[in-house]
Amino acid sequence: MAYIPNAERYTQMEYRRCGRSGLKLPLLSMGLWHNFGDTNSLEHMAQLCETAFDGGITHFDLANNYGPPAGAAERNFGKLLKTIFAGHRDELVISTKAGYDMWEGPYGEWGSRKYLLASLDQSLQRLGLDYVDIFYHHRPDPETPLEETMGALAQAVQSGKALYVGLSNYDGETMSRAAAILEQLHCPFIINQNRYSILDRVSEKNGILSASEQLQKGVIIYSPLAQGMLTDRYLHGIPEDSRIRTDGRFLQESQLTEERLSQLRQLQAIAQGRGQTLAQLALCWILRQKAVTSVLVGASRPEQLIDTLQIVGQEPLTEEELRAVDAAIGMER
């Protein structure tokens, strides 16, 4: 049976303008970092994407190396574009990135013009698209001149293979220098993608939030739940099917110390006082930031997405609640 999207999807989602650009993104965007590699079934991926789109999530975020293996997430999402999303391309914002190790040899990572433009061509081929909506440089390159990397992003737009460009994992100072170059090149740089959560304040410390707000660039946050710690999944032991057990690359059991678990239980109490889950609290905490356009969420089950979508329209955290969150993890506000 053909997939028919929920007719009420756009009334159920809030959309924020991305900096001072014309593009709006949903409050929640779908990240395909996990669960879209060849270790999962295409049917299950379709269920996740259908649930997201039915809830008003129009933005799907990829990178060249998402899998496993590298490239698999783009290839699998490309299949979904031809099936469940056939006829809906213009309702979607699709982004991809290049910067991390993708193929063997000296031209398969970092930020050279050769790597970035070759990677974009490969990504488009895997996705089965003529263009992506946003093309990111995935991480700063300490050796390639910033002018070369930004020139490659500008060329991606000039060639019609990307509509907008973004930067990922840049700090505020480097992003500001890159923004000046891109402005000279008349390149539509509109968004930064960075890590941020209640437990990980790197985007505050490195100045990306303040610099983005000052320059009127959007910010989209990844790892908002600290790789699953900011959920109720680990409060009463570690499930055998959890990411810690099945894929220890991103979250290790050693991180779940008694001190950390105590902090998480205090945060859960704050969430319960708001009538929320811990994960919902964590997302609302991020979305209070004026600079933040959207938050990337992932899911291994459709039910997780449905639960996450409940934050749309919920009351923002009060000053008292924000102080309680900081106190729970031993920070002063």
**81-137 pLDDT per residue, tens:** 999 999 999 999 999 999 999 999 999 999 999 999 999 999 999 999 999 999 999
Using DSSP's 3-state secondary structure scheme, residue 248 falls into coil
Percent with pLDDT over 90 in the chain: 89
Q: What is the pLDDT at residue 239?
A: 54
Q: Which residue has the higher pLDDT, 280 or 245?
A: 280
Ranges of H-type helices in 192-310:
202-205, 208-215, 243-246, 258-273, 278-287, 302-308
Kindly state whether residue 7 falls inside one of the protein's structural domains.
Answer: no
Kindly state whether residue 48 falls inside one of the protein's structural domains.
Answer: yes
Residues 252-290: tens digit of each pLDDT: 566 678 889 899 999 999 999 999 999 999 999 999 999
Using DSSP's 3-state secondary structure scheme, residue 155 falls into helix
Instruction: Report how far residue 29's alpha carbon sits from residue 296's, in angstroms, rounded to the nearest whole number.
Output: 5
User: Residue 234: is its pLDDT beyond 90?
Assistant: no
Q: What predicted TM-score, i.e. pTM, was given to this entire model?
A: 0.94
Percent with pLDDT over 70 in the chain: 94
Domain count, the chain: 1
- Residue 248: band (very low, low, confident or very high) from pLDDT cuts 50, 70, 90: low
User: Residue 139: is its pLDDT beyond 60?
Assistant: yes
Residues 20-70: tens digit of each pLDDT: 999 999 999 999 999 999 999 999 999 999 999 999 999 999 999 999 999
Kindly state whether residue 1 falls inside one of the protein's structural domains.
Answer: no
- Residue 183: band (very low, low, confident or very high) from pLDDT cuts 50, 70, 90: very high
Kindly state whether residue 65 falls inside one of the protein's structural domains.
Answer: yes
- Identify the CATH number of the domain in which residue 299 sits: 3.20.20.100
Phi, psi of 297 (to 5 degrees): -120, 150
Instruction: Report how far residue 81's alpha carbon sits from residue 124's, in angstroms, rounded to the nearest whole number.
Output: 12
Q: What is the pLDDT at residue 251?
A: 59
Kindly state whether residue 283 falls inside one of the protein's structural domains.
Answer: yes
Paired strand residues for 288: none
The stretch 291-301 carries a mean pLDDT of 96
Which residues are CB-neighbours of 316 under 8 A, at least 6 positions away? Answer: 284, 287, 288
Q: Is the dihedral of CA 25, 27, 33, 34 positive or negative?
A: negative
- Residue 17: band (very low, low, confident or very high) from pLDDT cuts 50, 70, 90: very high
Range of the domain at 40: 24-328
Kindly state whether residue 42 falls inside one of the protein's structural domains.
Answer: yes
Q: What is the pLDDT at residue 245?
A: 45
Q: What is the pLDDT at residue 1?
A: 72
